[in-house]
Structure 1
Amino acid sequence: MQFLTLTLAFAAVAVAVPIDQNLVARAPPNVPTAAAAKTALAALTVAAQGSSTGYSRDLFPHWITQSGTCNTREVVLERDGTNVVQNSACAATSGTWVSPYDGATWTAASDLDIDHMVPLSNAWKSGAASWTTARRQAFANDLTNPQLLAVTDNVNSAKSDSGPETWKPPLSEYL
């Protein structure tokens, strides 16, 4: 669990660093200041990462219904985009998104993935293996913290399940 907390705090530092606001349409929610994130990091005890034994992405139910017909993915797309239009099923039919990881601009929601900044496998190895399914579902669909981001799909694929301790986005301004 300490490793997960450390990973989340490290991710918060990455997000808290000033970003050229011309590159990012909208920031994720509740991003701490750089000072607050550094304070949280300094207070942590580092623990060894756990095993990936038993991990399956399916153990983290994600893209659950948030409201009406809107699932977590559609909520993040609407939050992170500009001029987003959604159909009656809540699917984004148009809009503009700027990926914070590479600065690419997209007008088709299909070009975007919703990234778990702290990958689900990373969470598993950091203590989520002992969580209930409900707690893993809450983590995988967390709209309260800066955990979910709309990003270029192939950049997210390249990241795979690497955590912020080993993977850095290609856009250095994001760091």
Structure 2
Amino acid sequence: MAHPDPHTAGPRQGPHPHDAAKPHAAAGPRRGQRVRGARLLLLVGGCVSVLLGTLLARPVGASPPGIPDPETARAELAELATAPEGSMAGYARERFPHWITTDGCTTRQWVLRRDGEGVEVDEDCRPTSGTWHSPYDGATLDAPSEVDIDHVVPLAESWRSGAAGWTEDRRRSFANDLENPQLIAVSAAANRSKGDQDPADWQPVEESYHCTYAAMWIDVKYEWGLTVDEEERAALQDMLGACGPAGGDSGISES
């Protein structure tokens, strides 16, 4: 079943539910300006340099950017359109070009540098050493070859949730999104266990990460205007139950 692309009808009207909580919100892909900004980010070297400089300024072992607090995640989930998953007809990973190279490093290499500790790279930006913690399963990885970069919302899942109607430029931006919590370094075992499943069928074995994972998933779908199915929505609501009480510990992992 085909899904309508919310972005063909123009930007969302009215206030964003987490404008106050997420200072960078005005630069993301949710509004018309944010869509244009995401494309320019990939095409204009100066803009890319600013973003990548920000990534490298983050503490080592940092988590993906833009993870909303539980209250914001619940507000975003409430605004997501519910629809049955669409067909996989026409899908291929090649329709989401990745990893692109910006400022001499591929998107994968930027995430490895952001999420690792003590990461050293060669003259071609290839990480040669470092340590990575896989939050999905608690594994500690000491070699770059052991690390996968997971699309929090899998490419195939996005296709079934609205991306089938996107342009290739938009799919490229989605597959290389460094601005939102869409890319994360994890163990190969965890990534392959997940595959293209949504939270109704797969959740991290580390239950302490359920709150963070749900918040990331919801935020990515919100920012990119993707739909959720009924079982997926119910699973996300349950996972948000792992978050701390309002006014207390949020349950969101910082790394």
Conserved 8 A contact 1:3-1:49: no
**SS of residue in 1 equivalent to 2:170:** helix
Aligned residue pairs total: 155
Q: Name the structure where strand makes up a greater proportion of residues.
A: 1
> What TM-score, normalized by structure 2, do the two folds share?
0.58
Q: Does 1:160 align with 2:201?
A: no
What does residue 15 of structure 1 align with? none
What does residue 87 of structure 2 align with? 51
Q: Does 1:140 align with 2:175?
A: yes
One-letter amino acid of the structure 1 residue matched with residue 112 of structure 2? L
Distance 1:40 1:123 in 2: 17
Identity %: 51
Distance 1:85 1:2 in 2: 44
Q: CA deviation at 1:75?
A: 0.2
Conserved 8 A contact 2:5-2:166: no
**SS of residue in 2 equivalent to 1:77:** helix
How do 1:99-118 residues align onto structure 2 when only pairs under 5 Å count? Answer: 99-118=134-153
Distance 1:125 1:80 in 2: 29
CA RMSD of aligned residues (A): 1.8
Q: 2:106 aligns with which of 66, 71, 75?
A: 71
What does residue 11 of structure 1 align with? none
Bigger shift: 124-133 or 155-164? 155-164
Q: CA deviation at 1:165?
A: 3.3
Q: 2:66 aligns with which of 23, 30, 45?
A: 30
Q: Name the structure where helix makes up a greater proportion of residues.
A: 2
> What TM-score, normalized by structure 1, do the two folds share?
0.84
**SS of residue in 2 equivalent to 1:74:** helix
**SS of residue in 2 equivalent to 1:85:** strand
Distance 1:32 1:2 in 2: 26
One-letter amino acid of the structure 2 residue matched with residue 44 of structure 1? L
Conserved 8 A contact 2:118-2:130: yes
Give the number of the structure whose alpha-carbon radius of gyration is greater. Answer: 2
Conserved 8 A contact 2:64-2:183: yes
**Which structure carries more relative contact order (alpha carbon 8 Å, separation 6+)?**
1
Q: CA deviation at 1:166?
A: 2.0
Q: CA deviation at 1:132?
A: 0.7
